[in-house]
Every structure is written in C-alpha cells, then in structure tokens.
Structure 1
Amino acid sequence: MRIGEIAHHAGVSTRALRYYEEQGLLTPERTPSGQRTYPESAVERVRLIQQFFTAGLPSRTILQLLPCVDTGHASPKAFELLASERNRITAAMADLAAARDALDRMIDIANHPTPEHCPALREPAWAPYNPADATRTAPHPTAARDASATLITM
C-alpha cells in the first residue's frame, strides 16, 4: 500500500505517517523510485500507535513498548515504564487542577472584588464635600484673577 492509502485506511494524515517513520515507530519499504510502501498490517500498527498517543505516551516511550507488542510478551521494564508514564500524567493532571482552581479564585475575585484584593476599593476616588476643607486650601477667587492679570500685563 502506498502512503496515501495507508493514511486513508488508518484515519491519519500522510504527515503523521512520515513523523512515525522519523521516530522509528513505522518502517516502510521503498520502491526503486523511492516511494514508500506499507504492508496491510501497517493499518493496525498505525491505529495502535494512535492509541498510545491518545493515552498520553510520547513517541520515545511508544518506541520502547513496540517490541513487547511485536513479541507478545511484556517485560517488567515495560510495566515500570507504563507506571512511570501514568505517574507523570497524574502529576500533570494535578498541576492543571491547581491552575484551574487558581483561575476560579481569580474569576471569583473579579466578580466580587473586595478592598483586600483591589487597591482601588481601599480609598474612595472622591470624598464627600466638606466646606471647611475648601476654605483652608482654595485660594481667594480674586487672587487667581489678579495673578492672571499680572501675567497678561507683563
């Protein structure tokens, strides 16, 4: 079978098949003109590789497991490898759950801001009008007029 046929039957792209070849997961034969050809059994192999990827395994791990598939015997090392990958995925899931929980807290704070979380709520943007404050800090109205008159005449 040619690369397009195998891709169609296995439900993957030709690019994916080339990647599998680069990673050593799939080995096609070559015609004298250099075209790839695959046995019909490659469809099942590609589907298996897809299942490994769906399970979250990287290509280097899949490469280590394929000899067990080919021989039909799983070594203790293969089981250790699978357990290690499961632990890695579990840790990644815990990290993602922690990130989700942090995002949930931020969404809650954004929906219900408090002075503790929002500096703008600690001090009001304006204060109620106090006439006593105005007489102490504001200049006399004629002082501003006299100052501008001085600037114009200069």
Structure 2
Amino acid sequence: MRIGELARRTGISARMLRYYEEQGLITPQRGDNGYRDYDETLVERAEKIRCFLDASIPMRVIAAMLDRIEHAHNMDPETTSQLRAMLVRERDRLAGRIDSFERNKAALTDLIHTLDGEEAQTTTQA
C-alpha cells in the first residue's frame, strides 16, 4: 500500500510515518518505480509506535522494544532480562511523571476552587 493508505488506516500523518521510517522504526519495500510500498504488517507496527509515543516513551526505547517484542520467541534469557529491566525503568519513569501530573492537577483544582469561592463571595457582597 502507498503511504496515503497507511496514513488513512492508522490515523497517523504521512509526515509522521516518514519520520518513523527515518528513525528506522518502519521499513517499507521499494517498488521498481522507486515508490514506497507499505506492507500490511506495518499498520499494526505504526499503531504500536504511536501508542508508545503517546505514552512519552523515547524513540530510542521504542526501537529497542519493537525489535525485541516482535522477536520475543527468539530471545535468549539475557536479552529477555535486559528488555525487562528497560521496561521496568520506563514504567517507573512514567509513574513518576504521572505522580507529578496528579500533584499539578490537584494544585490547579484547589486554585480553581479557591477562585470559585472568592467569586461567590464577591457576587453575594454586590
């Protein structure tokens, strides 16, 4: 399939798909005419990449994860251990960011409530 079809099917822009290709995350075949031909398997791979990026996982980690996930049946115990350690680090990093976001959200909510209280007092005094 052409890049436009892959973009339509995944909801990922053609520009972003080209970026994935530049980063070595997806590799289309090249036709005799030089056009990229995206294999059906790249639909799922591109969607995984987008999900990982949405979760703020760095591109370098995504590349390592995808290769290892897709070849999990051929991984030796040391590689499995390394992948697990990397995933634990990324999970813990994300958990820290989530905690920070939760604290920021709570602070904003408190401020909103404070402002709502002041607004209500101003309205009743007028």
CA shift, 1:63, in A, is 0.4
Kindly indicate whether residue 48 of structure 2 is the aligned counterpart of residue 43 of structure 1.
no
TM-score (norm. length: structure 1): 0.62
TM-score (norm. length: structure 2): 0.73
Q: Percent identity?
A: 37
What residue in structure 1 maps to residue 84 of structure 2? 79
What residue in structure 2 maps to residue 143 of structure 1? none
In structure 1, how many angstroms separate the alpha carbons of the residues matched to 2:25 and 2:110?
Answer: 43
| Of 105, 108, 116, the match for 2:113 | 108
What residue in structure 2 maps to residue 28 of structure 1? 28
CA shift, 1:18, in A, is 0.7
- After TM superposition, the structure 1 = structure 2 runs for residues 3-152 of structure 1, keeping only pairs within 5 Å, are 3-72=3-72, 73=75, 75-112=80-117
Q: How many equivalent pairs are there?
A: 113
CA shift, 1:104, in A, is 2.5
Letter paired with 2:70: D
In structure 2, how many angstroms separate the alpha carbons of the residues matched to 1:91 and 1:43?
Answer: 31
User: Which ranges of structure 2 fall in alignment gaps of 5 or more residues?
Assistant: 119-126
CA shift, 1:54, in A, is 4.0
CA shift, 1:33, in A, is 4.5
SS of 2:12 mapped into structure 1: coil
Letter paired with 1:98: R
- More displaced 10-residue stretch of structure 1: 30-39 or 96-105: 30-39
User: Which ranges of structure 1 fall in alignment gaps of 5 or more residues?
Assistant: 114-154
